[in-house]
Amino acid sequence: MIIAINARTLRAVPRDGIGWFTLEVVRGMVRNHPEHRFVMISDRKYSEMPVDTVSREERLTKAAGRKDLRLTEDADRKDRGVTEAAGRKDQSLTEAAGRKDRGFPLEGSNVEYVTIPLRTVHPVLWHFWHEYLLPPVLKRTGADVFIAPDGMIPLRTDVPCIPVIHDLNHEHRPGDIPRVECRYYRRRFPLFAGKGARVATVSHFSADDIASTYGIDPAKIDVVPNGVAESFSPPLAGEVEETRKQYTGGRPYFLFVSNFSPRKNVEAVIRAFEQFRKAGHGDHVLLLAGRRLYLTKEMDRHLEASPYGNDILFTGSVTRDVLRRLYGAAEALTFVPWLEGFGIPVVEAQRCGTPCILSDGSSLPEVSGGAALCVSPADAGAIAEAMARLVTDGALRRRLATEGLANSMRYTWEGAAEAMWQSVLKATRK
């Protein structure tokens, strides 16, 4: 078979959960099925993608080592979500960022790259690229099936398509997304779901949501859960102390990991942290790992008003190895989004033996396997209480760490690649 992939989200260093899904799942299928050909169709030339050749871990280590790892006091600074240390543009960082990796995200004798040279930076261009430029390419390559890890497929094609719809946040919380993008999602995604030969998604929660919201036959939807990279594991001897010394001056911390956008509910985490500190439960730090996505002004207002602003620190985006150490040294992952299709940070933290405080809705109770403290994302007091329980109850911490680690073993990228392949076989009736 010839399997075409919508590779707009395929990067050597992914930026978000969809990016990791694309890289890991496609890599697994390419490796496991050398008898088939995989055509990566993108809107850019991969050989021209800038990728830092100096590891992000090395650069963040330098940044984290500086004593002024804290939120800038300059209220006029445009990028409020980056620490002064991580935001410094010293010569070494500038040079590293300017270097380019001439390779490709995935390589193999059964892999081919095709570029449609129109950068899809706006919904109008998304539409034109998918509906007018992509179908002739699918026909020319002789594709037997088209997989879209970002959910966007062409409606003007006879090639069987599998949109991967990770969640329906645009349907349930439209205000969390820029208006033009949200309008496109709400108009087109019901059509993508209806057109698809199969629909893939990452949790049973999302599968039920897609079926009921879009009126799709549940039998047409395949659950392809995300995985956990093998690099994630419990901390090594002495690593907790070393990591805390490096990032928080030796103090214990609660960790949030994700992009910063309204649905991630960072404001509730900040309010809960404030209540935890005011109650005198500990001298902890709140460590926020990730990057801005959009619509973060509300988060900025909470940060500026927080009496504990100096103890709310940002790491920026980090490598998997740094993230493994951050998880392992954390008191707990505090992750309470309003809606989540899966929540990769949950199972990554569990694989590192870290207890989790999670939202009690959407996919998180399912994905965590019950091995977490689940609370209302609207109740900062309940989140703060969960923080206090984990600090004071050692038996609870140990139980959640043990049960969470066992739960995380259910999720592997190898399993995700196989589940996606089974969806391909169903779509092509092979």
**Could you tell me which residue, 341 or 94, shows the higher pLDDT?**
341
Cα separation, 420 vs 410, whole angstroms = 16
DSSP-derived letter for residue 370 is T
Cα separation, 361 vs 51, whole angstroms = 37
pLDDT tens-digit map of 191-204: 999 999 999 999 99
193 and 141 in a common domain: yes
Q: Is the pLDDT of residue 12 over 90?
A: no
Give me the domain span that covers residue 186. 2-50+102-227+413-428
Cα separation, 199 vs 365, whole angstroms = 23
Q: Quick one: tokens of 39?
A: 């055509």
pLDDT category, 173, cuts 50, 70, 90? Answer: very high
74 and 38 in a common domain: no
Least confident of 106-115, 287-296, 414-423: 287-296
365 C-beta neighbours (distance < 10 Å), count = 15
Q: Phi first, then psi: what are they for 345, rounded to 5°? A: -55, -30
Q: What is the reported pLDDT for 63?
A: 38
353 and 311 in a common domain: yes
If we measure between CA atoms, which residue out of 121, 122, 104 comes closest to residue 5? 104
Q: Phi first, then psi: what are they for 158, rounded to 5°? A: -95, 0
282 and 173 in a common domain: no
Residue 78 belongs to a domain = yes
Q: Are 380 and 266 in contact (CB under 8 A)?
A: no
365 and 303 in a common domain: yes
Least confident of 162-166, 278-282, 327-331: 278-282
| DSSP bridge pairs for 37 | 2
Q: What is the reported pLDDT for 47?
A: 59
Task: Name the pTM for this structure.
Answer: 0.85
Which of 272-281 are b and which e, b meaning 16 or more Cβ less than 10 Å from the residue's Cβ? bbbbbbeeeb
Q: Which amino acid is at 374?
A: C
Mean pLDDT of the chain: 87
Cα separation, 271 vs 279, whole angstroms = 12
- Cα–Cα distances in Å, from 424 out to 117, 144, 166, 213? 27, 10, 17, 24
Q: What is the CA radius of gyration of the chain?
A: 22
Q: Which amino acid is at 391?
A: V
265 C-beta neighbours (distance < 10 Å), count = 25
Q: Are 33 and 272 in contact (CB under 8 A)?
A: no
263 and 150 in a common domain: no
Residue 368 belongs to a domain = yes
Distance of CA 379 to the CA centre of its chain: 24
222 and 240 in a common domain: no
Least confident of 70-74, 126-130, 370-374, 423-427: 70-74
Burial of 194 (0-12, 13-18, 19+ CB in 10 A): middle
239 and 208 in a common domain: no
pLDDT category, 215, cuts 50, 70, 90? Answer: very high
**In the chain, % of residues over pLDDT 70:** 86
Residue 356 belongs to a domain = yes
Q: Are 247 and 326 in contact (CB under 8 A)?
A: yes
Q: Phi first, then psi: what are they for 146, rounded to 5°? A: -125, 125
pLDDT category, 305, cuts 50, 70, 90? Answer: confident
Q: Are 172 and 185 in contact (CB under 8 A)?
A: no
Cα separation, 268 vs 262, whole angstroms = 11
401 and 267 in a common domain: yes
Cα separation, 248 vs 245, whole angstroms = 6
CA geometry: angle at 397 spanning 404 and 61, to 5°?
80
Query: CATH code at 147?
Result: 3.40.50.2000
Cα separation, 182 vs 261, whole angstroms = 14
Residue 234 belongs to a domain = yes
205 and 126 in a common domain: yes
Q: Is the pLDDT of residue 14 over 90?
A: no
Cα separation, 189 vs 179, whole angstroms = 15
Least confident of 56-70, 276-290, 293-307: 56-70
Residue 164 belongs to a domain = yes
Residue 212 belongs to a domain = yes
pLDDT category, 369, cuts 50, 70, 90? Answer: very high
Residue 96 belongs to a domain = no
E strand segments, 216-375: 221-223, 253-257, 285-289, 312-316, 332-335, 356-359, 373-375
Residues 6+ apart with CB under 8 A from 200: 162, 163, 164, 165, 221, 222, 223, 224, 420, 423
280 and 151 in a common domain: no
Number of domains in the chain: 2
128 and 151 in a common domain: yes
Please, where are the H alpha helices in 260-355? 266-278, 297-305, 320-329, 344-351
Angular region, 108: left φ>0, alpha ψ -120 to 50, beta rest: left
Cα separation, 270 vs 251, whole angstroms = 17
Task: State mean pLDDT over 134-139.
Answer: 97
Residue 97 belongs to a domain = no
Cα separation, 10 vs 364, whole angstroms = 26
> Between 17-32 and 413-428, two packed helices, what is the crossing angle to 10 degrees?
70
Q: What share of the chain is helix, strand, coil (3-state, %, to 5)?
A: 50, 15, 40
Determine the 3-state secondary structure of 2 from DSSP: strand
DSSP-derived letter for residue 54 is S
Q: Is the pLDDT of residue 290 over 90?
A: no
